[in-house]
Amino acid sequence: MDAAGKVAFELASPEALLVSTSVDMVVVPGVEGDFGVLPGHAPFISAVRPGVIDIYQGEKIERRLFVSDGFAEVNERRCTVLSSEAYPLEELEREEVVERLRESEDELRDADSDDEREAAEKDIALCEAMLAALG
């Protein structure tokens, strides 16, 4: 917790540090359910499932980011999320996600190996989570 009673939040992908800010609360889509992080939170590590991270300032959501997967590390002062893909929710275009879903379904039908099937199934689940996040 910093002097203003906030939590340091960072979201990073392999390409870049996407967010680094102090927040009142952050809600992360963990594999065992969403969890909120406030100042003074108990330390833990969680896998992250595809879903939306909500960043709160005061009692309002200031920013929403879609993450594909990853890990979150939480301690009393900080929440760090590492994800292979992350997008501001407002930048996701429904039509593009639907097209990506169709392509992944085609790849699944045409898969010749377990690895190809697994990759296509993972991308289908990711696209479905994106569509759910878009409402």
Question: Where do we find the tokens 């979201």?
Answer: 11
Mean pLDDT value of segment 55-66: 94
Mean pLDDT value of segment 40-54: 95
pTM, two decimals, is 0.86
* Angle value at C-alpha 117, between 46 and 97, nearest 5 degrees: 70
pLDDT at 1 over 50: no
pLDDT digits (tens, 9 = 90+) for 19-36: 999 999 999 999 999 999
Say what angle helices 94-110 and 114-134 make with each other, to 10 degrees. 160
pLDDT digits (tens, 9 = 90+) for 82-123: 999 998 999 999 999 999 999 999 999 999 999 999 999 999
pLDDT of residue 4: 66
* pLDDT band at 135; cut points 50, 70, 90: confident
Pairing of strands 60-67, 86-88: antiparallel
**CA-CA distance, 50 to 56, in Å (whole number)?**
19
**CA-CA distance, 28 to 43, in Å (whole number)?**
14
